Amino acid sequence: MSAVEERSEIELVVNVRDGHLVQGQNLVTNNVSVVEGETAIISCRVKNNDDSVIQLLNPNRQTIYFRDVRPLKDSRFQLVNFSDNELLVSLSNVSLSDEGRYVCQLYTDPPQEAYADITVLVPPGNPILESREEIVSEGNETEITCTAMGSKPASTIKWMKGDQPLQGEATVEELYDRMFTVTSRLRLTVSKEDDGVAVICIIDHPAVKDFQAQKYLEVQYKPEVQIVVEFPEGLTREGENLELTCKAKGKPQPHQINWLKVDDDFPSHAVITGSDLFIENLNKSYNGTYRCVASNLVGEAYDDYILYVYDSRADGAPQKIDHAVIGGIVAVVVFAMLCLLIVLGRYFARHKGTYFTHEAKGADDAADADTAIINAEGGHNNSDDKKEYYI
């Protein structure tokens, strides 16, 4: 049994569970949905049968089976099971002409009838996916159509862009024998992020599963530009060289890359090789903004590099402070100050005392001031009599 036939039987079981009791106390049947070209099972079941005869009629009221005998010469009808309580018939290679109301008939008094409606499902053809333009520029709108042709009933079309569901606009055209063609139009504005993203048309129909078609968007976008400093790694100093590379990416790839200096003339000895800019022996007159411009069919973009030339002695990184050295210096200074304090202390201690001299000897015994002065002056002249005591 093919996978299609298995799906048909599973669907039949569901219909059996949803079966209904029609007029007549003892006769039961069920509706059947079957995919075109597959096999339908028609069941006539009798509860508490009293040996009454069961027969199956087609929509034209022609007898297909009378008990276990097939009067109809259509060999696609085959007896699956016959008993007093059931008549089970298969119809293979179902076509649209087989659709209609089949009659289970029980010969009682009066006769009882139950009706089984066979619905033939026709799956759509392969979905046809078309786009208004194959290549779209970023920021523009594009339109994609998906068509599901010749299905019964009409298909439902859903859209996805990557993992994102989108809403399309559907039109339904009725053909013949209740056949339908459905067309859905999807309009969307694209960005550069959409380049290479899949747009998926999903067909929803009871006759098929996982029926879809997809198209990958091709989006053109203007370049993305970035200037990279190849040399030097740190500050740009006088006398050194400068090397810049312009990296540009776009779709299509940029066909032209230009270097220029904003609001000024380019250094006379600057060398441009493709996307690279080389300036040797820098000096401060080269300061300014250098621009790389890249362009393609979509547009152009640029990136700027601001050059500032430092003195040749300039250091781009602050010097690290050695705390151990500073601590050592502070310790030496404190030690020197302590030594100085000790020396000064000892010095002042050694020269501390009282002086007694005989320079004014005789002044105490003088009768008046003049005599005291004369006696004192005489003391100055006699240096041998001068004595000093240090305690």
- Asked if the domains 125-217 and 222-307 are classified in one and the same CATH topology, the answer is yes
- The reported pLDDT for the residue numbered 15 is 33
Q: What is the three-state SS of the chain?
A: CCHHHHHHHHHHHHHHHCCEECCCCCEEECCEEEECCCCEEEEEEECCCCCCCEEEECCCCCEEEECCECCCCCCCEEEEEECCCEEEEEECCCCHHHCEEEEEEECCCCCEEEEEEEEEEECCCCCEEEECCCCEECCCEEEEEEEEEEEECCCEEEEEECCEEECCEEEEEECCCCCEEEEEEEEEECCHHHCCCEEEEEEEECCEEEEEEEEECCEEEEEEEEEEEEECCCCCECCCCEEEEEEEEEECCCCEEEEEECCCCCCCCCEEECCEEEECCCCHHHCEEEEEEEECCCCEEEEEEEECCECCCCCCCCCCCCHHHHHHHHHHHHHHHHHHHHHHHHHHHHCCCCEEECCCCCCCCCCCHHHHHHHHHHHHHCHHHCCEEEC
CATH number for the domain running over 222-307: 2.60.40.10
Residues in a beta bridge with 256: 295
Average pLDDT per run of 10 along the chain, which is 391 residues long? Answer: 34 34 66 97 90 93 96 96 94 96 92 95 95 95 97 96 96 93 97 96 94 96 96 93 96 95 91 95 95 96 96 61 71 86 79 50 54 50 44 35
**Chosen CATH of 9-121 out of 2.102.10.10, 2.60.40.10, 3.30.70.1050, 3.30.230.70:** 2.60.40.10
- The reported pLDDT for the residue numbered 313 is 78
Residues in a beta bridge with 267: none
- The reported pLDDT for the residue numbered 48 is 80
Domain ranges of the chain: 9-121, 125-217, 222-307
- The reported pLDDT for the residue numbered 352 is 58
Is 125-217 a domain of CATH 2.60.40.10?
A: yes
Residues in a beta bridge with 45: 28, 86
- The reported pLDDT for the residue numbered 13 is 29
- The reported pLDDT for the residue numbered 153 is 96
> What are the C-alpha distances in Å from 117 to residues 20, 53, 80, 306, 377?
12, 22, 19, 82, 163
Which residues are within 8 A (CB) of 167 and not within 5 positions of it... i.e. 6 or more apart?
A: 159
- The reported pLDDT for the residue numbered 375 is 54
- The reported pLDDT for the residue numbered 23 is 40
